[in-house]
Amino acid sequence: MYKGVKKAKLGMKRSHRVSLRRNLLRSLLQRGSVETTTPKAKVLKKDADSLVQKAKRADEIMIRREIETILGKKELVKKLVEYSKNEKTGVSILKIRFRDGDNAEMSKVSLMGLVKKTGKKVQGKKDDKEDVKKTTASEKPKKTGVFGQGKKVDTTAVMKHSERSRTRSGL
């Protein structure tokens, strides 16, 4: 009998919990970062750290197969092994906001030191100036009517989540 062993149950049965954890790990490796609730983020960080440590010993075929059973795809295993060879590896959690609706605390889990490939190429200063002109043109108010009254609506206004809502519904 092992006393003091705690598992984060996350409000679901074992099979659902295992599939959730594996899906979160897969999407973390594919995208580089994932937004989820804070309890799930803490479980994901623990799982991802142990998986990165396993991947450092991936020259053994048995460990590589264990990783493949968790991730499901050989491409993800290769990506994880390449990532684990870097000097700066790890997983970070950043608390970002409270979700509308149920007011759950949301966190962003990201792999530190993961190099992302970008599809855009910077060719010169002329392209940058054109991009600036396009963004300022798109920021102008576009809607001209509110319920047919002819008033202009400012669509550039951004609301900040500075304070946690007082009710559970988020209203």
Question: What is the number of other CB atoms lying within 10 angstroms of the CB of residue 166?
Answer: 9
Separation in Å, CA 43 to CA 18, 21, 73, 120: 11, 8, 22, 34
What per-residue confidence (pLDDT) applies to 105? 95
Buried b (16+ CB within 10 A) or exposed e, 31-53: eeebebeeebbebbbebbeebbe
- CATH number for the segment(s) 14-111: 3.90.1030.10
Q: What is the pLDDT along the chain (171 residues), one digit of tens a residue?
A: 778 778 888 889 999 999 999 999 999 999 999 999 999 999 999 999 999 999 998 888 999 999 999 999 999 999 999 999 888 888 999 999 999 989 999 999 999 887 665 556 555 555 555 555 555 555 555 555 555 566 665 666 665 555 555 566 655
Buried b (16+ CB within 10 A) or exposed e, 74-110: eebbebbbebbeeeebebeeeeeebeeeeeeebbebb
Handedness of CA 97, 102, 103, 108 (dihedral sign): negative
What per-residue confidence (pLDDT) applies to 151? 60
Reduced to 3 states (helix: H, G, I; strand: E, B; else coil), residue 112 is: coil
Handedness of CA 160, 100, 153, 136 (dihedral sign): positive
Residue boundaries of the structural domains of the chain: 14-111
What per-residue confidence (pLDDT) applies to 26? 94
What per-residue confidence (pLDDT) applies to 157? 61
pTM more than 0.75: no
